[in-house]
Chain A
Amino acid sequence: MIPYDRNIDPPAPFVEVIVQHPMTGQREVLSAQLDTGADISGIPQRLVDRLGLAPVRIVPVEGYDDARVLLSTYVVRLEIAGVRFRGLEVVPIPGERTLLGRDVLNCLYIHLNGPELTFDLSPSPPG
């Protein structure tokens, strides 16, 4: 079981992911928050700049306040819990947070144990 990150209040599930440039393979290891409220995953804008990612399209994105903005999207390779996404479309988000949306989470089996502040995540059903 993986412990929740207790540095934020209330504690939340974060998991280590590897984000890579789709061609150069340049990579960074990040701590990403599981966010079932997000349709699409997001990586920090600064990581987009560091990896030198090129945009692939522009999409409208709405936040919790229904404010709509136009964001460029980028394609990265992503590895999480032994699952590799050869191409994953992501949006840039402010700050240093990385979000795993349902585009990624729906490929995994996830068990949240809220009372004990732990979770489990696997590409195959729990045995």
Chain B
Amino acid sequence: MLYSAQVTPMKTLVLKEAQAPYTLTLDESALSEGPVQVLQGERVIGVLVPPEEYTAFRAWQEAQHHPQRVGQDHGAFEREAAAFAALLPELLQEYRGRVVAIHDGQVVEVGHPGESVAQVAVRVYDRLGYVPVYVQQVEESPRVYRITGPRLGSQ
């Protein structure tokens, strides 16, 4: 898959060996070691990455450009919350007391001891963009917060 550094929309270059002005010799194993630059002379004209990395990049790019949509996607948040609940027994074995972040049903960040939910969430946003995420301390019973001011509404 070939696309330029400005990836919207994705461009596909079909190489025809007999007539193509340029040819690429690609060792597929090279992609497993990271992105591959495509040069025209000395100029970088594109970068090759594995398809799954490109898909993740597009999701990040979407989140960067349309962060408001993330706030409206409650279904995605509920799926991440359900994934946290399903993973909790395993998480208790490995990360008890720590804060973890779940994205796409997987643990994508583990907080350092003493780090808060907000600190871990900000780190996830910095790394992945404003994506749907569930960030929670790994404990058997969640802490109860008290607010003595206004009457609270349920959700």
Contacts and interface: CB of A to CB of B under 8 A. Distances in A.
Contacts of A95: 150
Contact of A56 (B135, B154, B155): B135
A57 B149 contact: no
Contacts of B121: 22, 56, 75, 87, 89
Contact of B149 (A37, A48, A88): A37
B89 interface: no
B71 A53 contact: yes
Interface stretch (B2-10, B19-27, B50-58, B137-145): B137-145
Contact of B81 (A48, A57, A63, A65): A57
A89 B99 CA distance: 13
Nearest to A90: B118
Contacts of A30: none
A20 interface: no
Contacts, number: 139
Interface residues on B, range: 35 or more
B117 A56 contact: yes
Interface string B100-124: 0000000000000000111101100
A35 B148 contact: yes
B135 A54 contact: no
Given A57-B81, A75-B122, A93 B71 contact: no
A57 B70 contact: no
Interface residues on A, range: 35 or more
Identify the interface centre among A55, A63, A89: most chain B CB within 10 Å of its CB: A55
B150 A93 contact: yes
Given A67-B152, A89-B116, A57 B136 contact: yes
Contact of A38 (B64, B67, B133, B149): B149
B71 A39 contact: no
Interface of B: 64, 67-74, 77, 81, 116-119, 121-122, 125, 129-130, 132-136, 142-155
Closest 9 CB pairs of A and B: A52-B68, A37-B148, A87-B118, A52-B71, A87-B122, A69-B154, A89-B118, A54-B71, A23-B130
29 contacts: A21-B67, A23-B129, A33-B149, A37-B147, A39-B146, A39-B147, A45-B153, A51-B71, A52-B68, A54-B70, A55-B77, A56-B118, A56-B121, A57-B117, A57-B135, A59-B144, A60-B142, A60-B145, A61-B145, A62-B146, A63-B148, A70-B155, A71-B152, A71-B155, A72-B77, A75-B125, A87-B118, A91-B147, A94-B151
